[in-house]
Amino acid sequence: MTDFHSGFIAILGKPNVGKSTLVNALLGQKIAAVSPRPQTTRRRQLGILTTETAQLVFVDTPGIHAPRHKLGQFLNQEAGEALEGVDLVLFLADASTEPDEDDRRIAALYSSLRHKPDLVLGLNKTDLIPAETLEARRNAYQALVPDAPAAAFSAVTGQGLDELLAALESRLPVSPPQFPEDQLTDLYEREIAADLIREAALIALRDEVPHSLNVRIDEFKERSEEMAYIHATIFVERESQKGIVIGEGGKMLKKIGSAARQEIEAMGGRQVFLELRVKVEKDWRNREDVLRRFGYNLKARRK
């Protein structure tokens, strides 16, 4: 173990850049919710990859953006705090687009750190652009972080991921592993189940009820080694949204439940009985008391 590398890697990027998709791809198993909607990730989550030569502990974070409500402030807070105590930062960029204000916000956040961890620039979604475009995009993002080495890849196709891992591993300290080699994440199954239900809802509802959804697991029981029972509540902000989530004759809620159940079963390797209900919690994203009840503990801003 004298040459074994181990450390924490914070993944920073704007919403919908592919942070959770990348973590799932590297681990070869789904532990984080993914959808085409921005801000699917709402909490920091560890993705632990152990190889023969290294243990890379990825800190998946919410996308950094200009917040429009208190929940957005919490998401930025979570992402910013992920930088504390990490060994390395992976600045994840979308190579299929030019850098925007959110990318510049992330670069500025890193530059403002008093004690800067090492930084690697990751150019994701290379499968969406022709090869001749990649160099220009690389130069555009490199201008934001001039001293950072860059790795280009596609989390969807897997092309370039080996090169990314090599770049990250070489910059981690020589250290023994900090987690058991078979541990993949720090979240419990019930927490991941809540995220998978919300993911299924985001995909099914598309743009109708984008981020007004929150999921609470009310009951999670192991009935046997082959069966689990989950009862969950989907919260929305308005009565009109409740009707959309339930759908005519309950069809939409059944669709969400079926998709979520399949993902939860794949994660746990056993049959799941999933029961869903929908409730209204008015304007919950801007109510600190409700945010705290849902587990989003927004801290006071430093002056």
The DSSP secondary structure of the chain, one letter per residue, reads -TT-EEEEEEEE--TTSSHHHHHHHHHTS--S---SSTT---S-EEEEEE-SSEEEEEEE-PPP---SSHHHHHHHHHHHHTTTT-SEEEEEEETTS---HHHHHHHHHHHT-SSPPEEEEEEE-GGGS-HHHHHHHHHHHHTTSTTS-EEE--TTT-TTHHHHHHHHHTTSPB---SS-TT--BSS-HHHHHHHHHHHHHHHHHTTSSSS--EEEEEEEEEEETTEEEEEEEEEESSHHHHHHHH-GGGHHHHHHHHHHHHHHHHHHTSEEEEEEEEEE-TTGGG-HHHHHHTT--PPPPP-
Using DSSP bridges, classify how beta strands 88-94 and 5-12 pair: parallel, antiparallel or unpaired.
parallel
* Alpha-carbon gap, residue 14 to 103, rounded angstroms: 6
Lookup: tokens for 207:
């743009």
The predicted structure's pLDDT at residue 299: 57
* Alpha-carbon gap, residue 10 to 129, rounded angstroms: 26
> Which residue has better confidence, 224 or 126?
126
Span of 6-10, 64-68, 133-137 with lowest mean pLDDT: 64-68
Lookup: tokens for 174:
């020589």
In this prediction, residues 160-169 reach a mean pLDDT of 96
The predicted structure's pLDDT at residue 242: 93
Where along the chain do the CATH 3.40.50.300 domains lie?
Answer: 5-169
Percent with pLDDT over 90 in the chain = 51
In this prediction, residues 38-54 reach a mean pLDDT of 75
The CATH code of domain 5-169 reads 3.40.50.300
In this prediction, residues 7-23 reach a mean pLDDT of 89
The CATH code of domain 189-293 reads 3.30.300.20
What pLDDT, in 10s, does the model give residues 191-228? Answer: 888 889 988 998 898 766 656 888 999 999 988 778 99
What pLDDT, in 10s, does the model give residues 267-303? Answer: 888 899 999 999 999 988 888 888 888 877 665 444 3
Q: Would the pLDDT of 98 be above 70?
A: yes
In this prediction, residues 128-146 reach a mean pLDDT of 95
Beta bridge partners of 296: none
Using DSSP bridges, classify how beta strands 150-152 and 118-124 pair: parallel, antiparallel or unpaired.
parallel
* Alpha-carbon gap, residue 192 to 185, rounded angstroms: 10
Triad 151, 106, 195: Cα angle to 5°: 85
> Which residue has better confidence, 254 or 203?
254
The predicted structure's pLDDT at residue 40: 47
Most distant CA pair in the chain, distance: 62
Local confidence band at 68 (pLDDT 50, 70, 90 cut-offs)? low
Q: Which residues contact 142 (CB under 8 A, 6 or more apart)?
A: 121, 148, 150
Span of 96-105, 108-117, 213-222 with lowest mean pLDDT: 108-117
The predicted structure's pLDDT at residue 29: 81
pTM (2 decimals)?
0.71
In this prediction, residues 74-84 reach a mean pLDDT of 60
Provide the 10 A C-beta neighbour count for residue 134: 15
The predicted structure's pLDDT at residue 185: 84
The predicted structure's pLDDT at residue 48: 92
Where along the chain do the CATH 3.30.300.20 domains lie?
Answer: 189-293
The predicted structure's pLDDT at residue 241: 92
The predicted structure's pLDDT at residue 35: 46
> Which residue has better confidence, 166 or 111?
166
Rg (CA), the chain: 20
* Alpha-carbon gap, residue 209 to 214, rounded angstroms: 11
Provide the 10 A C-beta neighbour count for residue 127: 15
In this prediction, residues 96-113 reach a mean pLDDT of 90
Instruction: Give Cα 94 to chain centroid, integer Å.
Output: 15
Q: Tell me the pLDDT of the chain averaged across its residues.
A: 85
Local confidence band at 133 (pLDDT 50, 70, 90 cut-offs)? very high
